[in-house]
Amino acid sequence: MNSILLLVILVPIIEIYLLIKIGSQIGAISTILLIFFTAITGIYYAKYEGLNTLKSGFIQLRNNESPTYEMISGAVIAFAAILLIIPGFATDVLGFFLIFPVTRKFILNRFFKKKYKKEKEKNNFIDGEFEDIEDDHDRKF
């Protein structure tokens, strides 16, 4: 809970700081136009990547395979589109990293590899029972 509260406080502070710094360098009108340009470009590209992911998911279903990566990728694309709609440069950079397929796949692989490693370390034993059978006459049916 504390990390979410920290994010809610830190993200706007970082965005305001970047808007002031970049606005002082390139001007207020240019900063506003840049924010609109990144939002429009990002939303268009999110739509494009979303349709590609949907197409890939239907191909997986047609081949009787589970479209797990496509479903997760679609959720990440939707999150990236939200980040691109939010005005600011830090959220735009993160949104563009999540939109592009190469970086999205890299980020997802790193996330799931770490999560899978934790689950594997947690469940590294097999629980079971056994019975020694010496003769055929001792077997219980």
Whole-prediction pTM: 0.73
- Closest-CA residue to 79 (of 67, 59, 96, 103): 96
Question: What 8-state DSSP symbol labels residue 133?
Answer: -
Amino acid at 3: S
pLDDT tens track for 92-136 = 999 999 999 899 999 888 888 876 665 556 666 666 776 767 666
CA distance 3 to 5: 5
Is residue 48 over pLDDT 90? yes
In this structure, which amino acid lies at residue 53? T
Return the domain boundaries, the chain: 2-122
pLDDT average, residue stretch 11-16: 92
More confident residue, 62 or 131: 62
Query: Tokens 């440069």 sit at which residue?
Result: 89
